[in-house]
Amino acid sequence: MSYEQLFQDVNEEMKERLELVMERIAEIVSEQGETVREDYRDFFVTTAKYLLLENKILEQALSGELSRMTEAQGEELNHLLYDDIQQRYDSSYANPTYAVAKLGEEYGKLLSMLYTRIHSINWRAFEGNRQFLCIYAELFVEIYNCFEAAEGTSGKEISDIVYSFMHDYSEVFVEDQRARMIFPEYDYETKLVMESDLSNTAYLYRYGYCIGEDEVKISRYLNTFSDEEIQSMADTYTEGFRIGFITTGKDISIKSVLQVNYPIGFERMVRVAIQNFEKMGLAPTMYPYSISLNKQYNYDHKEDRGLWLDKALVERELEVERSVWAKFKEQAPKLAGPAVIENFGSKPFAPEQKPERVRYTDKQQELQVYATSEGSQLINKAIHGEERSFTIISYPVPSIGEQFEEIFAETVKINTLDYVLYRDMQQKIIDVLDTADRVHILGCNGNKTDLYVKIWELENPEKETAFENCVADVNIPVGEVFTSPVLKGTQGKLHVTQVYLNELNFLNLELDFEDGRIARYNCTNFASEEENRKYIEDNVLYHHKTLPMGEFAIGTNTTAYRMARVYDIADKLPILIAEKTGPHFAVGDTCYTYDEDNMTYNPDGKAIVARENEISRLRTEDMSKAYFNCHTDITIPYDELGRIEVIRKDGSTQDIIVNGRFVLPGTEPLNEPLDALE
């Protein structure tokens, strides 16, 4: 069944409703909002015009006119849709600071949220879906009517309307989100990738997402590659996914769907990847994303749910989630997992902390943690998480600088390094780490790290190992060995002078561990210690009171480290590559979340037994206490690394790294890229 057939019924149902509400919105524009107070007219007229533009796009999508859009027309349309967010954000109602200044404290945050939500659905108009445009247009008119009332309105009245909207349409939101995850019939983006003329960048503007210079330039750049070069890039990506099933002993033949997550502009590679996946019997559900969208805009609105979030609504959403997964119980287990293409090179982002943006209360933070935990368990149960796998690969984008093409070529090389060479060197490191009671990590050159990590005790060292030998399969590129630390006995300070976590910059991040859990934390991003702590709570702890150390790893990809230093892009590397450029420590869940009971083996045949810790072990008693649904890697670069030392039970020691150099016999080739820097 095609996408058009899938939504024929809902589109017919919504057709008359949408026509009626758009007539009213057109009246608001023609009247210039004269029936509401002058203070609010500009907001309502501006938003009404945006809704009319979305409706026009919808009509063009349904008529087929949109598919004939030229590059110049697409660029002009994208400008109309995103200029206020990209170029005029300081004077946009999407900016909560501006909205509160113009609309007042009582209404500013609510109306900024509404404006943002209406912006965020325009891509649905491009795919010809009337439903979301209709319900948000009706919400807009309902709120407008309140402002028209002679007796006036109140912030509470508007809040109640928004709350009812979120409650009443829970089924629509949840079912749409989950269906797109598992049904390839949602094929608008698939057809766009597979059927468009990719040599003409006009196709980029048919997504409905923000298109900037990066999307256009990377699309044009990939068109300079030969078919063989594109095939090689796609093969690296898709083989990583396939081999991930083999190395974990899972059966890919029982799967028929996978998620393809990719940055817009990479369609030429994605097209070939989809063809590769089809040969494996897998059809895609597509998750394109914009490289260029204003990161401050996203940051300002990431907690907008705080305007309506309460216990009753969380339980309502979870009830709907259970119902949806029951409805999709036949299709859900067919999902093989996500295959992700990340990008790096955009300007590093340090967010402005705006007092006007919505922030969760302490109670809402607890509710969000609870909702995330319960929702993750439902997803994992529905898709049979123990049977799934994934892969991630990353490439630079043009905004990384003038040497973009050289960096891209280096990244391709890094993604295809000789995994056999790395496998064998990493095994030598694991052989020593498996003798450890603890591992001592010391910083240098201004890095204050002084940390002891407790290692899983092996009962049968001949057949067991505590560390996974990670080569280039699910986690591309090659280059790390990792374990789940024992929490009791893991203690000390982790410090990094600068690190980017989920595209956010942290300066002098310090985490103090006691029995494997974060006990104290700080950074120096802001003048206020309170703001620094809040920044970490929101973006590292994710509103948990504490997090355990879920992973300890030693990255071995010194070639990637050399690339970062030669091109001065260390601050732009994605964590996927950065984590391979030194030891790293993940806070949150282990790498084996929801998969602890599936035995996995290293290439040497040894069973990896350190797959859980004292917290994830609670899954047998209470799943909600076992997982945190986050995993954030923090890397110490080699030039800030004084020593990694194995300490055995008998008190003997052995060094693995000293002053940023590998010192174990057999690992000397890892130092060659480092020595070349000097």
pLDDT digits (tens, 9 = 90+) for 93-114: 999 999 999 999 999 999 999 9
Residue for token pair 């130092």 = 671
- Per-residue pLDDT, 371: 94
- Per-residue pLDDT, 65: 95
- Per-residue pLDDT, 472: 67
Average pLDDT over residues 585-595: 92
Residue 591, SS3 per DSSP: coil
- Per-residue pLDDT, 340: 97
For the segment 479-509, what is each residue's pLDDT rounded down to a tens digit? 999 999 999 999 999 999 999 888 788 999 9
Of all residues in the chain, the percent with pLDDT exceeding 90 is: 86
Q: What is the DSSP letter of 474?
A: S
- Report the C-alpha gap between 40 and 148 in whole angstroms: 10
- Report the C-alpha gap between 433 and 451 in whole angstroms: 16
For the segment 598-633, what is each residue's pLDDT rounded down to a tens digit? 888 998 999 999 999 999 999 988 888 899 989 999
Average pLDDT over residues 414-433: 93
Contact between 29 and 55 under an 8 Å Cβ cutoff? The reply is: no
Cis-peptide into 477, omega within 30 deg: yes
Give me 545's structure tokens.
């009171």
- Report the C-alpha gap between 435 and 437 in whole angstroms: 7
Least confident of 330-334, 498-502, 586-590: 498-502
Dihedral sign, CA of 346, 349, 354, 360?
A: positive
Least confident of 2-6, 104-108, 637-641: 2-6
For the segment 350-389, what is each residue's pLDDT rounded down to a tens digit? 889 999 999 999 999 999 989 998 999 999 999 998 899 9
- Per-residue pLDDT, 31: 93
- Report the C-alpha gap between 241 and 278 in whole angstroms: 13
Instruction: Give yes or no for residue 4 having a pLDDT over 70.
Output: no
Residue 259, SS3 per DSSP: strand
3-state helix, strand, coil in the chain (%, to 5): 50, 20, 30
Residue for token pair 């400008």 = 79
Give me 54's structure tokens.
């979305």
Q: What is the DSSP letter of 520?
A: E
Q: At what angle do helices 8-30 and 130-148 cross, to 10 degrees?
A: 30
For the segment 49-72, what is each residue's pLDDT rounded down to a tens digit? 999 999 999 999 999 999 999 999
Average pLDDT over residues 579-594: 93
Residue for token pair 């007229």 = 45
Residue 283, SS3 per DSSP: strand
- Per-residue pLDDT, 1: 45
Residue for token pair 């891209």 = 408
Residue type, 535: Y
Going by pLDDT thresholds of 50, 70 and 90, the confidence category of residue 594 is confident
Average pLDDT over residues 254-273: 98
Q: What is the DSSP letter of 479?
A: -
Exposed/middle/buried for 226, CB within 10 Å: 0-12, 13-18, 19+?
exposed
Going by pLDDT thresholds of 50, 70 and 90, the confidence category of residue 287 is very high
